[in-house]
Amino acid sequence: MEKIKRVRKVRTPQVPEGETKEQKFVRLATRRVNKIRKALDQIGLLGSASYISTDDQRAKVIAAVEESVAFNLARLNKTKTSKTDFKL
């Protein structure tokens, strides 16, 4: 018997017709901020007793998150800055 491949349906975002640039900003900012807050919560869970890490590893994670936050806040405020890739 041949396996049936499931096709994953791509979700296309619903963009309201006649949406202004400010409305688009509010719509996207709300979704993106909630998404990053959830991701940060997941990073915070790495501090639980379920995981073992060194002080150096935690410091590197914190530094990478802080660097990314600073970089993107500068972009949001239209200030030029640069960012490096994270590697543990």
Q: What is the pLDDT of residue 15?
A: 84
Q: In the predicted model, what is the mean pLDDT of residues 17-42?
A: 96
Q: In the predicted model, what is the mean pLDDT of residues 64-81?
A: 91
Q: In the predicted model, what is the mean pLDDT of residues 43-64?
A: 96
- 3 state SS of 3: coil
pLDDT band at 1 (very low <50, low <70, confident <90, very high): low
